[in-house]
A = this chain, B = another copy of it.
Amino acid sequence: MISSRASVAARACARTSGVLRQQTRSLATVSSSLFPGEPSSPHLVTPSIPGPKSKELSDRIGTFQENRAHGFVVDYAKSQGNWIADADGNVLLDMFAQIASIAIGYNNPDLIALAKTDEFITATMNRAALGSFPPTNWQELVETGLGTVKPKGLDNIFTAMCGSCANENAFKASFMAYRARERGEQAQFTPEEMQSCMQNQSPGSPDLSILSFTSAFHGRLFGSLSATRSKAIHKLDIPSFNWPVVAWPDVKYPLSQNARENAEAEKVSLAAVEEAIVNSKKAGSPNGPVAALIVEPIQSEGGDNHASPAFFQGLRDVTKKHGVFMIVDEVQTGVGATGAFWAHDKWNLTSPPDFVTFSKKMQAAGFYHDIDTRPSMPYRNYNTWMGDPTRTLQARQIIRSIQDHGLVEKTDQVGNYIYEKLTDVIENGAGRGKVEKLRGENAGTFLAFDGKTPEIRDKLIMEMRKLGVHMGGCGDKAVRLRPMLVFEQKHADLFLEKLDKALAQL
């Protein structure tokens, strides 16, 4: 499972000297050098997955914890690179990657080497309350890790625990900044505000809202869930803030071949955004003024829905015009999978968003922002842990590995390769009449297509699993591809071969 220490050390040394950096940009060599023992094909020992051992272990978990959402039980020690091993000994090509949250492969030797360092062990076993008692290496750690991938224009970093927490803390920062602007930066809180907030009443607990889109997913805690609109099952029975929603533009794919029609659809959506904001600021609005808009660069859990860079520029313009903060939720799109480190890099915005949130593949979570949206006083957006030093160290190594091996550029190239091949499979090949609506033009390996029906989608995923390829769904009938950044052309070819077979059998 673990490559020799010597090779790790050699790579670390080469990284510093920049020698390997050039060499490994060749597409063919990255995964074989990182994962010399990576399989070349699936290894299947049970006729279907989950097999008997997975089922037995899952049932045992079921005695104390929900197990009905289990796919299969995983042998992480035996998983390697792009390949996931299960409890029964099956080994599958993993194109789901723990719900899009493994960046650089299972048992990546750079991460295993990190785990053995004193710095890592000290940070993990002596977990700091980072907001009050940060470790001596915190500044250096953040600046040489998360700090090296700051989105353009944003140089503050708030660290948190998970994607939902990242979004909710960005909401809190938005609300505080919005009210600070209303009352004037230097103004004190009034006694009425101080008292009313303790009763959860206005003006201390103001009626302010977050605007989001239909099909959006921003998390599952109480604030983030109020902005989430993916599926009823995510929201049923949970009290919500009465926050407004606007329809996601009804675009056609491929985006480039439907540019004129899509521009119209996006215009409709942008007008609805402006209307919702304007209405929210009128007296008696049921939701209170919109303080921030939150948007995913590609709506992920909600079905992989895209829009054009012009749409996002329009959102930046309309939010700026009305003094609304713009939060870009890069929890799933961030960290390279779209062929840019941040998906919003490809928009070329004329001015940056106010907040960019992250989690998943970064392992660490939080948001980037500007000093203007720091709260007026300490302890306002605060908690015990304020993030996790363990995951911050891990994030630094992930970022370094991505940079050392040119994994973002590689993912862009491999994504374009798969996109072209998939177009052919769907239009002329085995997929014709069974799957449709390929998405992900110029979006790296962040690809998706629909089954003609939800049943076809579900069957396809199960067939692919039997053939040794692990994929995930999203929305009502989409298959989403979420391979890691070490997914290469050889893996793509294997995936395409198996897909062809599975589609032919449907």
Contacts and interface: CB of A to CB of B under 8 A. Distances in A.
B238 A172 contact: yes
Interface residues of A, number: 127
A180 B224 CA distance: 23
12 contacts: A65-B142, A66-B374, A66-B378, A76-B126, A77-B122, A102-B127, A124-B124, A161-B165, A163-B384, A172-B220, A200-B242, A222-B224
Contacts of A390: 124, 390
A82 interface: no
Interface stretch (A67-75, A333-341, A435-443): A67-75
Contact of A221 (B114, B221, B384): B221
Contacts of A423: none
Given A125-B394, A129-B99, A139-B61, A168 B204 contact: no
A486 B168 CA distance: 36
Number of this chain's copies in the assembly equals 2
Contacts of A171: 222
A23 interface: no
Contact of A125 (B60, B108, B219, B360): B108
A316 interface: no
| Residue from A112, A171, A237 having most chain B Cβ neighbours under 10 A | A237
Contacts of A363: 127
Interface of A: 1, 57-58, 60-61, 64-66, 68-77, 79, 84, 87, 98-99, 101-102, 106-108, 111-112, 114-116, 118, 120-129, 131-136, 138-139, 142-143, 147, 155-159, 161-165, 168, 171-172, 175-176, 178-180, 189, 193-195, 197-201, 204-209, 214, 219-224, 226, 229, 232-243, 245, 288, 359-360, 363, 374-375, 377-385, 390, 394
A227 to B, nearest CB: 9
Residue picked from A57, A111, A142, most chain B C-beta under 10 Å? A57
10 closest A-B pairs (Cβ-Cβ)?
Answer: A222-B223, A68-B378, A200-B240, A205-B240, A69-B378, A76-B126, A98-B129, A179-B237, A197-B235, A222-B222
